Amino acid sequence: MELKIGIAIKKLRTNKNVTQEQLAEYLNVSFQAVSKWETGVTIPDVYLLPKLALFFGVSIDDIFAVDDTENLARIMKDVDGPVTEESFSFARKTLERILTYDENNYDALNALAWTYYRYGQTHTRASMGFAKQAIQANPTYVGAYNAYNVLANALGANVGYQSRSSGPLDMLAFCEPYARKHPQLDWLNRWLAELCIELRDYKRAKSFIGSLHPTIQDIFQGDILLADGNSTEAQALWSKAGLSDNYAACYMAGERFNSCGMFDEAIRFYEAAFTNAVHPRDLSSTYSLAFLYTRLGKYVEAIAMWERILLVMAEDYNITEGENVRWPQEEIKKLQARLANKT
């Protein structure tokens, strides 16, 4: 408990931009005493707590805050499923308290975005605001972009592309400066290139493609060729990229062939993607295979993919319970029932 009180005092002090000496003078103690509190050597006397709370503009309970890391982990676990009124209240109070200490805590901002979104679709705009703040606090934080992507698409589904203040166009306008400033963020440039192609803004798409790996450039060049009606040339470029050992290129090739109804090629490149994945292995291609096999009525193969997902979650991510595990388990049961009905 002593160390946690010290962490809270230090966060409050640095957020208020005051020195240990200034805080000590206000409390009429030595700056060495403040230093000992913050390092967990001692704790402040009880009679000082009201003065500390008044100085920082918080409650005494805030000074006795529990470990933020534990709370964030609990909140992010809660948002895997439906957020109840009780869990929403806990998350909002906890995250807002964290942000009073550190207004640029991007983990807390990201958690707040997901909490509002999971609590109810009517909070989508508020959720997007928190996701934006998380990106502003740390422009290289992939989790915040993922949240913003989901939220912007959810909003775009409601308002359509006609509104330039929300949805995918808002997402592009907001994220583009960060992609320009951080060209090393391949995933961000890929994401924005795909978005531009969906919006048929090919010139803008090419500006994001230029900084990517040559095999990824081939994928996107193929997309543009397909949009121009050159499907044969597009497929040739996708195949070329999919034959590389680049995980992303293999997966993206699989997605393209899947969308074109060329399922054997799609399966080939999805499997290549999984083979080329590095630890901890990305499961996107395996999810795609599970869905594709199910659509094709190949239930045995689909079950094998869901079992692979469970195995990799346990081995690479140490996840053995929760929503991420229940979903594959439920899908396996459904597929086993279909197999039983076929026989």
**Could you tell me the two tokens for 231?**
């499907």
Of the two residues 252 and 104, the one the predictor is more confident about is 252
Taken in order 162, 166, 171, 172, the sign of the CA dihedral is positive
**Rounded-to-integer distance, Cα 151 and Cα 129, Å:** 10
Write down the CATH number for the domain with range 2-63.
Answer: 1.10.260.40
Question: In degrees, to the nearest 5, what angle opens at C-alpha 41 toward C-alphas 36 and 47?
Answer: 70
What pLDDT, in 10s, does the model give residues 78-89? 887 778 888 888
- Predicted pLDDT at 163: 45
- Tell me the mean pLDDT in the region 148-154: 80
Cis peptide before 280 (omega within 30 of 0): yes
What pLDDT, in 10s, does the model give residues 251-271? 999 999 999 999 999 999 999
**Rounded-to-integer distance, Cα 30 and Cα 19, Å:** 12
Q: How many CB atoms lie within 10 A of CB 22?
A: 15
Query: CB–CB of 254/269 below 8 Å?
Result: yes
Of the two residues 66 and 241, the one the predictor is more confident about is 241
Question: In degrees, to the nearest 5, what angle opens at C-alpha 181 toward C-alphas 176 and 185?
Answer: 80
Asked if pLDDT for residue 157 goes beyond 60, the answer is: no
Query: CB–CB of 267/304 below 8 Å?
Result: no
Of the two residues 180 and 121, the one the predictor is more confident about is 180
- Tell me the mean pLDDT in the region 139-159: 78
